Structure 1
Amino acid sequence: MFDMEYARWLDESHRHINDLRGGLATHLSDGDLRIIVDECLTHHDELFQLKAVAAKADVFHLITGLWATPAERCFLWMGGFKPSELIKILLPQLDPLTEQQIVGICSLQQSSQQAEEALSQGLEQLHQSLADTVASESLCEVTDMGNYMGHMAMALGKLSNLEGFVRQA
């Protein structure tokens, strides 16, 4: 379901990008451009809502990235996609900018980096906690099936926290 909705979202995204390019090429007024930009932002909000629903249904499908475009998979493969890195890539393309716009973008980049670091630390703690639970001595003892099942349930409970990380990201 998510794959089909994402494909639909991509088609609409291309339309929004073309509208924005056309507006820039025809030098629309700031008010008219604002309308197009607001539509683009609303469209991206829809993607985050789709991903939140997908995370609840099957977080592993979402984090594997098989649904993503080849370019998105490339960014994910190179160590995880970070919005702060995208800002670094885009900033030189956004000329001319006012001093206030540059300060705003730099502030956005800094807050993005802080959020990324917090998520990375939390995910690292989750990985460690999960590894500790799975590798616990009593889990390796298959003789006590009830204890084994209890540890596996605890590990799966911790793994369910992954959905929260995906929503935060």
Structure 2
Amino acid sequence: MDKKKIRQLMLNQLHNLPEKEKKLYTNHIHQKILTSKEWIESDIIAITISRGQEIDTKALINQALEEGKKVCAPRCEPDTKKLFFHYIKSLEEAVPSFFGLLEPEPHLPLAHKSEIDLVIVPGLAFSSSGYRVGFGGGYYDRFLSDYIGYSISMAFSFQLIEDNFAESYDIPVSKVITER
């Protein structure tokens, strides 16, 4: 199956997931992340601000800030297709940008890639080896290509698929955490 079909299939399944199950599964995923070695050992966490059908990241952002961790969120640079992570001290420092994403205001301090301990990478479908189908821009593959810290993705178990969708430029995450 090609990535476009996988994206559509997963978006449909996410849309049809009952809200009660979504909240329950999300809580299980969050608990696994918060007790993971990667989270515990990390002082600086890079994480997108969730929207729509994505697994909630706002609770994790708030928890990280409460724990005294530094949080940085990405700004997409459409011209270069690169991500730039900016430190945020609250979700109120995020503003709507292109594609309806919430991104940090551009004047906020930048986090250098080498400072980031853990990146929580979004996606729509995942293989057991950590390859992912994202939203199609390749932003995270470019970022991860020379990143040396921890990388985790969150997924509902139905988002794990055994399909040979990985391409030569795809970069896997270290770990995919599901509700199971």
Question: TM-score scaled to structure 2, two decimals?
Answer: 0.23
Higher helix share: 1
Question: TM-score scaled to structure 1, two decimals?
Answer: 0.24
Higher strand share: 2
